[in-house]
Amino acid sequence: MAAPFITRQPGQVVRVADHSPAGVPGHKDIVALSAPLSDVFSAEFDGAVEGLGIAADALLLAALGRAVERTLGAGFVAVDIADGKFAGATVSLRCASARDTDANEMLLETESILGLSGVQAAPGLAGAEVSLSPTGVAPVEITETRALQLCVSRRDELVQLDWWYDLRRFNSFTVEELAEQYVLALVELSSEAAAPLHS
């Protein structure tokens, strides 16, 4: 059975990895960068989810779009959703700046593509380089095509972000910058979005 998907909209596809080595990564090639949110930022994230009435998955996905735009440029990236309510979906995420898409618009857009992913069935977007694990329960799967997996979980009430990646395909500073920009994007979207999000 094919994974649900959203057809990619016209636009530039963002290449996430720095390099394109052949073959499946070995165990030693898969490494992690951990970046827990502070207690203040974790509380702000929780407050935004509750106050805006939006799924945490949508906020996490929107922040990924902002972080990719800031680190790698604007365009679209295919993202596998590894677990949570929308597990099994592959979505086409628009990576846009705050200049081009305000916080409310970005959140509504990601909420929409996640919602549609459950009702549109067709062959998935080929070769998604990125996977998002919004609940952190899915196993880490870095493959010949998937280069990066962001796992979000809870540890002592804090939001924990673990960036798993193929060491052969990334310069370490790329993932470090992506992780840093992700936290900034998550905080900005949480604080800038204005309720009511849904009219």
Q: Which residues lie closer than 8 Å to 136 by C-beta, 6 or more apart?
A: 83, 151, 152, 153, 154, 160, 162
Cβ atoms < 10 Å from Cβ of 125 = 21
- pLDDT on residue 118: 56
The pLDDT score that the predictor gives to residue 169 is 97
Q: Is the pLDDT of residue 8 over 60?
A: no
For 28-75, write each residue's pLDDT tens digit.
999 999 999 999 999 999 999 999 999 999 999 999 999 999 999 999
**CA dihedral defined by 48, 51, 54, 60, rounded to 10 degrees?**
10
Contact 3, 124 (CB under 8 A): yes
Question: How would you label 22-51 residue by residue, b for 16+ Cβ within 10 Å and e otherwise?
Answer: eeebeeeebeebebbbeeebbebbeebbee
In this predicted model, which residue has the larger pLDDT, 15 or 125? 15
Domain-located, residue 141: yes
In a domain, 4, yes or no: no
User: Which pLDDT score, from 0 to 100, does residue 101 have?
Assistant: 94
Q: Name the percent of the chain lying above pLDDT 70.
A: 89
Q: Which pLDDT belongs to residue 126? A: 60
- In the chain, the number of structural domains is 1
What is the extent of the structural domain holding 169? 33-192
- DSSP tag of 74: S
71 CB-near residues (< 8 Å, 6+ apart): 174, 177, 178, 181
pLDDT (tens digit per residue) in 121-172: 334 456 799 999 999 999 999 999 999 999 999 998 899 999 999 999 999 9
Judge residue 134's burial from the number of C-beta atoms within 10 Å of its C-beta, 0-12 exposed, 13-18 middle, 19 or more buried. Answer: buried
Residue 84: which CATH number? Answer: 3.30.559.30
Check residue 127 and give its pLDDT: 72
Asked if residue 49 is part of any domain, the answer here is: yes
Q: What is the band of 97 on the pLDDT scale with cuts at 50, 70, 90?
A: very high
Residue type, 82: A
Cβ partners under 8 Å of residue 19, min gap 6? 168, 169, 170
Q: 2-11, 64-73, 140-149, 179-188: which range is least confident on average?
A: 2-11
pLDDT of residue 2: 36
Q: Could you tell me if residue 142 is inside a domain?
A: yes
Residue 197 domain-assigned (yes or no): no
Residue 115 resides in a domain? yes
Considering the domain boundaries, does residue 158 fall inside one?
A: yes
130 in a domain, yes or no?
A: yes
The pLDDT score that the predictor gives to residue 11 is: 66
Cβ atoms within 10 Å of 10's Cβ, excluding its own: 5
